[in-house]
Chain A
Amino acid sequence: MGRFIIRRIALMLVALWVVVTVTFFLAHMIPGGPFDREKPVPEAIKKNLEEKYHLNEPLWKQYILYLNDILHGDLGPSFKYPDRTVNDIISESFPVSAELGFWAVLIATVVGIWLGSLSALHQGGMIDSVSMFFAILFISLPSFVIAPIFQYIFGVKMHILPVANWGTWKHLIMPALSLALGPTAVIARLTRASMLEVLNNDYVKAAKARGIPGLRVLIVYALKNALIPVVTYLFPLIAAIFTGSFVVEKIFNIPGLGRYYVTSIYNRDYTVILGVTVFYAAFLILMNLLADITYALLDPRIRYE
């Protein structure tokens, strides 16, 4: 297992290098630059700006300079926000997204698995039909529809929650729910389908026949294996949610990392584009690694060299 992990981390570094390179050249290929404004900057000033940020140097040279910086852990200054560095931006915004993401994932996982298991156990029953109906509903409704509805009901009409912004536990509830509803539904359906399949397996029936207590059978024999598809979904979901959702963070004005994925491209803010992309890529690759390790823990048939 140890060698497996080391090999995977080495592969991750190679993958990250590819991500940096492709993103760097793609970003510079889009027309327009960070200093294009409606009131165009006079030529001489544009020249000064480009010199300051090395934008007038040949592209391959800028690439080498950037790689050198990134190897020293310096993701560079932002072009749009000249008094902030990309390191600062990520280190200040990521914890906010991560906190929001943690709650969303917790709700989605616990409620999803709970509902999914119950539905599987009482297949065809009331709980099953109702849960699965709501599951389809919430998978289909996009977060930018759900979020303003919440804002209107709980904020404007009932005045029990603040409509937007960040700071107290009250500010967490609506965004976390908006983020969690879709994944909860997916996890519920995955768990249900998986549990149904597992419960029909011979080894489960054999365990019951051997007199092992029902609850132990369900948890240790059935649920453990039923969760494998859920794990496949869950870890990339953590990567996506923890690094910030653009839509939910915009609607609730949460100072997380989500906005930068879109705005950095709009602003042609090259250093921020690269910084957040590399960050997301690293996080995602790590989550996939954790997923693979979790498989090994859950299913004894899976072993790595």
Chain B
Amino acid sequence: MKKFRVFLTVVLVFALIFGLFVGCGQQATNENQQGGEKQEQQPTEMVLRYNLGTEPETLDPAKATGVPEMTVMLHTFDGLTRLDKDGNPVPAVAESWEVKNDGKTYIFHLRKDVKWSDGQPVTAHDFEFAWKRALSPEIASEYAYQLYYLKNGEKYNTGEITDPNEVGVKALDDYTLQVDLEQPAPYFLSLVAFPTLYPLPKHVLDAHPDWPKGIDKDPSLYVTNGPFLLKEWSHHDKIILEKNPNYFDKDKVKLDKLVFYMVEDENTAVQMFENGEVDVIDNIPTAQIDQWKGKPEFHIDPILGTYYILVNVGSDKTMGGEKNPLQDVRVRKAIAMAINRSVITDKILKAGQQPAYAFVPPGIPDAKPGTDFRKVGGNYFSEDIDKAKQLLAEAGYPDGKGFPKLVYLYNTSEGHKKIGEAIQSMLKENLGIEIQLQNQEWKVYLQSRNEGQYDLARAGWLGDYVDPMTFLDMWVSTSGNNDTGWANPEYDKLIEEAKYTTDNAKRVELMHKAEDILMSEMPIIPLYFYTNPRLVKTYVKNYAPISLGWIDFKEAYIEK
């Protein structure tokens, strides 16, 4: 017996020693993969580590759609303009421009000192090439519609026209780009800062039509023109960017290296932050917000976004088969007024979100410089339980009697569930109406919304560019984003008119009028305006939180 015990112990010890040897052998090969959990590099190298939160789907500016992809490309590319920390476009590859033809023609004059990472100059031909490529049906870019502003952009993308030369972008010479638009877009200068409109190295793509396939194996193939260059892409692990020594604005860039982690688990990200393994993280789990509030690392950065409830106005019957009460605007208003939003923002979310009594969020300039569209527009309603009860009674459901049960749809998530439960209890208590919560998996939920298979549905919208139009044109009757079934010809007319108006003051006035209609009809019930809470180490300085949800480290630095 004793010998057996000795035998087993010896085997165990051998196995562990064997393991150690193999492990040490690996360590030698792994040491050069370390990429800095702690600041281990040469003391003079300035490295910033950020959690991107997930693997970028692609790093092709024509095909990327999400924030992680945009964030990486923001650091590796420069467009004609670049957004500053307030979201305003400033000159980048374009050093000056002329606006002609009532805002329908732009002539961009490019700098002559911008180079690709392989030394070739960035020319107007690179822009023309990239924009036509993004519109080509073969590329099948999901964001091609960002280029529908161009003359014949949509027609070329849908195949109505087959000659790309009819699209309204042309390189007049190496450093002059002419752009012709279908209609004036006063925010066009912001639009050209958007990744879909970045230039691409034509000479590289001519040689590698599959580009950017293979950049994970050979990062030097990712030829770009921005403040940083791709050094390493380790899938679902990290991306490493290094300062671009040939960047035209390199004096503004202080960081030597950027490490973007792809940790999806929010709790793990916070643990990494606490352990000093990462410097900046977004997406703090709600349960942890309380312990970070008030600490200097806790930042609430702005983001243009509204969380709201979609109301199924187009359906005559509810999901339960009864007459749809939501088709009566008084019912919609009653529901809007009976929800206590501060319960949601202060008790559930706790990250400085603002209750919303309109759809367009604050942070977008109005006509006069220094003013804010939301401030000028004001609130369209207030929380008033008595008035809500009165409206409900007028609609024929005093104290909720006879009101059918409504389905509130949300995509499976703890956060949305809590908000739904709060709304459910508030509506029961304040109005006497019953809401049934239903959660569906993300894509199933999207399809349900699309097909009108809901009564009320939670939704969120983040702006694509800093202008009220990105929040307003989605509610025209023909928009694919309008899942409510609401159609108002007056609204459609106002939006159409605003799109073709060159006088900015008039345009803004038209948009206010449109929002007036939207909020008096209330096919959507706004709940709150988003914020972007972040944890940022105190030694990280001068980063630019761009209100489209991105973060720009171009001019950031570490001060220990």
Contacts and interface: CB of A to CB of B under 8 A. Distances in A.
A250 B264 contact: yes
Given A31-B444, A40-B480, A215-B7, 17 more contacts: A32-B442, A32-B446, A36-B447, A37-B65, A44-B159, A45-B140, A83-B212, A92-B235, A110-B16, A148-B267, A155-B271, A156-B271, A165-B263, A214-B1, A250-B265, A251-B265, A268-B443
Contacts of B26: 169
Contact of A31 (B159, B275, B443): B443
Interface in A132-153: 148, 151-152
Contact of B261 (A40, A52, A253): A253
B366 interface: no
B456 interface: no
B3 interface: yes
Nearest to A48: B140
B347 interface: no
Contacts of A155: 271, 275
Contact of B4 (A37, A45, A214, A259): A214
Interface string A194-238: 000000000000000000011100110000000000000000000
Nearest to B211: A83
Given A36-B447, A167-B35, A250-B265, A121 B1 contact: yes
Nearest to B442: A266
A283 interface: no
A24 interface: no
A267 B499 CA distance: 35
B19 interface: yes
A302 interface: no
A121 B55 contact: no
A213 B527 CA distance: 80
A118 interface: yes
Nearest to B263: A253
Interface string A9-40: 00000000000000000000011110111111
B539 interface: no
A156 B275 CA distance: 5
A164 B274 CA distance: 12
A14 B318 CA distance: 48
Contacts, number: 178
A150 to B, nearest CB: 10
A103 interface: yes
A152 B271 contact: yes
Nearest to B7: A215
Contacts of B480: 40-43
B145 A45 contact: yes
Interface size class of A (residues with CB under 8 A): 35 or more
B34 interface: yes
B4 A253 contact: no
B268 A32 contact: no
Given A45-B157, A253-B264, A118 B5 contact: yes
A80 B444 CA distance: 17
Interface string B7-50: 11101100110010001101100110111010000000000000
Nearest to A266: B442
A111 to B, nearest CB: 7
B163 to A, nearest CB: 17
Interface string B215-238: 110000000000000000011111
Given A103-B19, A110-B11, A110-B15, A164 B57 contact: no
A98 to B, nearest CB: 13
A82 interface: yes
Interface of B: 1, 3-5, 7-9, 11-12, 15-16, 19, 23-24, 26-27, 30-31, 33-35, 37, 55, 57-60, 63, 65, 137-138, 140-142, 144-145, 154, 157-159, 212-216, 234-238, 261-265, 267-268, 271-272, 274-275, 277, 441-444, 446-447, 450, 459-460, 464, 480-481
Nearest to A83: B213
A169 B8 contact: no
Contacts of A49: 140, 142
Contacts of B144: 42, 45
Interface of A: 30-33, 35-45, 48-49, 51-52, 80-84, 89, 92-93, 103, 106, 110-111, 113-114, 117-118, 121, 148, 151-152, 155-156, 159, 162-169, 172, 213-215, 218-219, 250-253, 255, 259, 266, 268
Given A45-B141, A82-B63, A167-B34, A251 B268 contact: yes
Q: Which of B442, B443, B460, B480 has the most CB of A within 10 A?
A: B443
Nearest to A127: B5
B5 A156 contact: no
Which are the 6 A-B pairs with shortest beta-carbon distances? A32-B443, A44-B158, A48-B140, A255-B236, A215-B3, A49-B140
Given A103-B19, A164-B272, A250-B265, A81 B58 contact: yes
A165 B37 contact: yes
A251 B215 CA distance: 27
A165 B16 CA distance: 24
Contact of B234 (A83, A255, A259): A255
Given A110-B15, A215-B7, A81 B57 contact: yes
Contacts of A36: 443, 446-447
Given A163-B272, A266-B441, A81 B12 contact: no
Given A82-B57, A110-B11, A167-B34, A40 B158 contact: no
B277 A162 contact: yes
13 contacts: A31-B447, A36-B443, A36-B446, A52-B138, A82-B57, A83-B214, A83-B215, A93-B236, A114-B8, A163-B272, A167-B34, A169-B26, A253-B261
Contacts of A44: 154, 157-159
A159 B265 CA distance: 20
Contacts of B159: 44
Contacts of B234: 255
A121 B33 contact: no
A303 B223 CA distance: 62
A156 B278 CA distance: 13
Given A40-B481, A44-B157, A165 B237 contact: yes
A252 B446 contact: no
Nearest to A117: B8
Contacts of A32: 441-444, 446-447
Contacts of B213: 83-84
Contact of B30 (A111, A121, A169): A169
